[in-house]
Structure 1
């Protein structure tokens, strides 16, 4: 087979590589070596074993050409895939969320604020918490109910009558539903007891013999209340 190939090469001026490829393609096709679904025009042709291993050469002038080795396999190309970083999420501290969600306390309506004179009277009365009750006493070491009220407002700069009945005629009458800190509340009929509303649903009073000046829930004395007065 070598002589015909050499003559064909010299006659047609073909290179050994081209001639080898043509011969290999024809031989492979003739012997059924190419798969039916693989066209010969792809350039990737398998040569018969006896032809691929033969050392074909063309002698022309002073040059000698050798057929390059042909490989029958194609190395697969694998694309490198960069790892995808996991998304980062910012978190908000629970304490920050709670602080943002908590509403600011509503300002107390001006109508519920005591006057400066009333505030001073409340402070004076509260300074005597724990002082014993003594009938007819006006302080500073013991008090009866009206004596405590007289003392407290006197410290604030306002004079009040001595008894609860007389005090119930001073100042402006107010509803029990419209009380402000510093208002006086009178109990029983005829009036025989007086307490001072200090806000937050409680009053301060000098209650009875054997007890001391103390806070009392407003709800506890409301059923006996007959009037309320705003004296400051």
Structure 2
């Protein structure tokens, strides 16, 4: 009798464990939406073999730059990409048995502004450069850059979301310059419900990024200390150096 009861409890525990595990996997997958059928984006970050679409989605969740996946259900091949529908347009190939899924937690921006605007050789480095979908953070041979850039220190950059969102994390692409990497530090990320609140530094802190990153060439994923709901993000630079942001992407829960 005791053996039967112990065995029964083992079965129950196994069932609960499997149910919870499958629920977590399904939750990760439901954050991804089918974007294209019989299509495959050729700009790939990394490839994984022998995966299900759920496993592929989880791998993307764990990669800083990944926002979408190519997946072949027949072969189990998973390819992580940086495609964001309507924002980042990558070259595509028409291939049967492949599907493209994107992380639909991405929160599009509708407007951006900053405290001041630095004028470079290619013109004003406007705040909008950080929400134009261009993740290229390299200086060109002709010294052109396409990043938002303020003039002085202790400045800020702000953006409005397309909708109210419960923010999970923010990804920032800094200017890829090792000489200027020290500037990419001491950032306060503030989420606010209104533009007036944002302008007055009223809201809830998502995170404080100490920085600088180990490599300015790579994107920096900054998770919120707690999930914060709002419609505006303000990045406050608590440092006596200009603020440069090549791309800022916000993701919801």
In terms of Rg, which structure is larger?
1
Q: Is the helix fraction higher in 1 or 2?
A: 1
| Larger RCO, structure (CA 8 Å, separation 6 or more) | 2
Give TM-score, length-normalised by structure 1: 0.26
Q: Is the strand fraction higher in 1 or 2?
A: 2
Give TM-score, length-normalised by structure 2: 0.25
